[in-house]
A and B are shown apart, each in its own frame.
Chain A
Amino acid sequence: MKLLAYATAATLALATPAFAKIATGSTVSDMSVVDSEGVTHNLSDFAGQRVILEWTNEGCPYVKKHYKTDNMQDLQREATADGDTVWLSVISSAPGKQGHKDNVQVAQWKAAYDVASTAVILDEAGDMGQAFAARTTPHMYIIDEDQTLVYQGAIDDNSSSNPATVDGATNYVRAALANLDAGEAVAMSDTQPYGCSVKYAS
């Protein structure tokens, strides 16, 4: 006699389709996204370039930790300095939710924090976030020249929201980029992301 029961919470939460992440080491499928300037980008446009994705939400304390200390902006500048790496900051907050921004607000935010990403993607429907299974802000992804996902997870190994913890933390993104520059495989390619949850439309 078999009896099947589903855990309540899981069934409640999963009225939406499964929220499965892309396996590290697999090729990302093409998708087209629109940035805050109204420009449409296809992921396939960036074949041959390195792409870094950063999920962000200005109101989130963990995001603030990295922006108020200039930690995120320094990394953006550092990574894109070679002129051949693309940094996309992605905002998947639904309208009315924390961190949601229109074009003007993005411009203001970029100016206020001296944000150095290549483009800010407006993903208010959450399609791009769901495709990558972005869970937290910040949640970081690195796609290499062959459009292979080579890193996903936290920005560093200190999951506190206290800005003082930025110093002395091991920055996983920086380490992964160093691995790639040296032509090696990424040593830490999959870490547990920390932060606030991405504010999807529920």
Chain B
Amino acid sequence: MRTVFLTLLMWLSAATSAFATTSLPVDTGKVEASLLSSHYTVAPGQTFQIALKTTLDEKWHTYWRNPGDSGEPVQISWVLPDVLSAGEIVWPLPYPIPTGPIINYGFEGAPLFPVDFTVADNAPIGSVLEIQADVYYLVCKDICIPEEGTLRLILQVSGEAELNDANAAEIAEAINRAPAAIDIRVSMQADDGALSLQFADLPSTVADGNFADAYFFPYDNTLLAHSDPQTVTIGSDGLQIDTTASFGWGEGFDTPQQGLLSFDLDGERTGRIVTVSTGAPLAIGLDASRPAPDGAGSIGLISALIGAFIGGLILNLMPCVFPVISLKALSLAKSAHAERSIARREAWAYALGVFATFALLVIALLIVKATGAALGWGFQLQNPVVVGLIALLLFAVGLNLIGAYDIAGGSYQGAGATLAGRGGLTGSFFTGALAVLVATPCTAPLMASAIGYALAQPAFITFIVFMALAAGFAAPFVLLAYAPGLLMKLPKPGPWMVRLREVLAFPMFAAAIWLVWVVGNQAGIDGLVLVLMAMLSFALAVWLIQRRGIWKLLGVAAIVLAVALPFTARTVPASASGAASINLATDVWSPDRVAELRADGRAVFVDFTADWCVTCKVNERLVLKTNTVKQAFIDTDTAFLIADWTNRNDAIARELEAYGRAGVPLYLYYPAGDNSVRAEVLPQILTTDLVVKTLKGS
């Protein structure tokens, strides 16, 4: 009856025009198929839609692009005039269709399959477009019938496109309901037949509980066993699906795979197209004690340990550690010519200080991580109180070095005056501790991936990787103490040591100034003044303490005041200014902002930085803020986004984690017009040449 009615309608419309925006329906048996065009007339250069509409008999189904255990997808083969080009089918959301033990992916009811068409710019006005679709589908209930048919539409090219409101609305609704692509991080690992997928950064509603029934439909037919259950685990930052791997894993999946994650959101079934790559498991906010499978793509434990050790060695050369390190070298030079056993003991005390401090930091990190806060290495410098105290400490050490005071009762134990102002073993121990504290934010390139690896691992692994880092950090000194030849090569003690010690005070003051600047960025001008007041109070205390009686007590009080002052520093929200400059506009990073800019077809550069990160600052001063580079940004219309990690920020921590990093700097570049999910990662040490080349795509 419906067919008759439609045919009648066609005749009626044919009386007024020879053109049809809806094809004559073809009943292929279990399915009635027709083509709908969104437009009556189309203009040259225009994009419009034609949809295949299939109305299935009750209980019969056709198949999605991956039909599952059996079946065949709906297929459309277009026969088109030269001036038309067809895009891909926009697939509707499929359902898992179980029959006995077999699961298929498909559709029931009246699914619509929209396809984008583009009219060539040179399509002659007035020309007629004959569009033919040869359709084929396998339609099944308990049995399957392959059906096929040929559908035809005739449209006209005109100077002005004319919409068929009813069709356009129906097609638009189908496109809106169809799963859209989202740019989230998805990782998969197959291990001995078990397949695990992690989806990170899902809409925040995931954790709110109105998200249910997640199910993953891969495009590839050989990725997972369709008839095995998918176990969904929801974490605070995403979800994990565990199921059975299929034989496609015999070869492995080197290229990113696409698939569809379907779920119920607020009671409505919906889906999103995601891109999934084989790689290390993503943290989705489950409890950290879960053993992480050894996914391909993550660095192995051995190489992480080696990397961490080498990273530790390199740390010794970092500008922020150097002043502290040189102290240690100095004390070694002193003891080199005394008892070698003393040198050894001091070296070991230093190493112990390094290990103990790393251990404390790791334990603190693990505890905080377990409580769910997103932190990263260098977190101790994200808190203005800690930074203020370290600044005060460096200032105190500087004063000590320059000879303003001496806690060890007037007789310097040589020039190896140390943190607690004591010589010998305690001094060495605290030198080690101080060195670690100031070294941590300088994540050298090698260390970054080792730490990134470690933080994604169970607690024990994290711990031993950090111990390897500590070993690398302490190694040079232990080596010096044990190699008599090397020790003897160090110059003999003498008055030069006092001079050198005084000189070393200045890098300490410089480091203190840098930290004060960091506090200023974190806690504003008031915080900065608080720290300066603390320093003043300390300087006063040093002077008072060398007096007698009541003055000495006042001095002690001043020390207490000095230490207490930084605790009153309060974090203020990071300003959105970042590295803004007169002639290059910058913007604050957020995943949404990146997506927005990329949707506009712009290339995007993201600078993950923090005020306490020396490498970042060096890169900014010497490369990113140079006129050459700024000009390259302007020429290529590349958006410059700043992700400022000076203060804690969960979104940034997650993004760093996604790229296997635990600290800044991280530089990402998304080329224009490229829709791959992952950005290009630039090296941690930038050069002007490299950045310009990256931007200009050469």
Taking Cβ atoms with an 8 Å cutoff, the residues of A that contact B are 1-14, 16, 18-21, 23-24, 59-61, 97-98, 126, 130, 135-136, 159-162, 190-202
Contact = CB atoms under 8 A, between A and B. Distances in A.
27 contacts: A2-B235, A3-B209, A5-B234, A7-B215, A8-B215, A9-B98, A12-B98, A13-B103, A14-B229, A16-B100, A19-B101, A20-B228, A20-B244, A24-B247, A59-B143, A60-B143, A61-B144, A98-B142, A130-B101, A160-B72, A195-B70, A197-B99, A197-B100, A197-B144, A198-B102, A199-B142, A200-B100
A5 B212 contact: yes
Max chain B Cβ within 10 angstroms of own Cβ: one of A4, A13, A18, A190? A13
A198 B221 CA distance: 18
A196 B213 contact: no
A4 B231 contact: yes
A161 B244 CA distance: 28
Given A160-B72, A202-B100, A6 B142 contact: no
B129 to A, nearest CB: 29
A12 B227 CA distance: 11
Contacts of B101: 13-14, 16, 19, 130, 200
A161 B147 CA distance: 10
A44 to B, nearest CB: 26
A2 B142 contact: no
Nearest to A201: B100
B96 A9 contact: yes
A197 B70 CA distance: 6
B232 A5 contact: yes
Interface in B270-289: 286-287
Given A200-B99, A201-B100, 4 more contacts: A6-B230, A24-B247, A59-B143, A194-B70
B195 to A, nearest CB: 14
A23 to B, nearest CB: 8
A99 to B, nearest CB: 8
Most buried by A among B101, B144, B232, B250: B101
Contacts of B230: 6-7, 10
B265 interface: no
B222 interface: yes
Contact of B96 (A5, A13, A19, A199): A13
B138 interface: yes
Contact of B214 (A5, A16, A21, A135): A5
Interface string B70-100: 1110000000000000000000000111111
A8 B70 contact: no
B68 to A, nearest CB: 9
Given A5-B213, A135-B69, A160-B72, A196 B140 contact: yes
B215 A9 contact: yes
A96 to B, nearest CB: 9
Contacts of A198: 100, 102
B244 to A, nearest CB: 8
Contact of A10 (B100, B228, B246, B250): B228
Nearest to B96: A9
Contacts of A12: 98
B102 A197 contact: yes
Contacts of B236: 1
Contacts of A197: 69-71, 99-100, 102, 104, 140, 144
Interface string B203-244: 000000100111100000110010111111111100000001
4 residue pairs, one from A and one from B, having the closest CB atoms? A9-B96, A13-B98, A10-B229, A200-B100
B367 interface: no
Contacts of A7: 96, 213-215, 229-230, 232
Given A6-B231, A200-B100, A202-B99, A194 B72 contact: yes
Nearest to A10: B229
Contacts of B599: none
B14 interface: no
B33 to A, nearest CB: 17
Contacts of A18: 228
A196 B146 CA distance: 10
Contacts of B222: 192
A61 B96 contact: no
B145 interface: yes
Given A135-B102, A136-B70, A9 B95 contact: yes
B144 A196 contact: yes
A196 B138 CA distance: 9
Interface string B282-300: 0000110000000000000
Nearest to B212: A5
A61 B71 CA distance: 11
Contacts of A196: 70-71, 140, 143-144
A160 B230 CA distance: 29
Nearest to B209: A3
B683 to A, nearest CB: 39
A103 B234 CA distance: 53
A2 B233 contact: yes
A5 B234 CA distance: 8
A196 B140 CA distance: 8
Q: Which of A8, A23, A60, A130 has the most CB of B within 10 A?
A: A8
Interface string B529-545: 00000000000000000
A26 B433 CA distance: 58
Nearest to B287: A2
Contact of B221 (A9, A13, A192): A192
Contacts of A59: 143
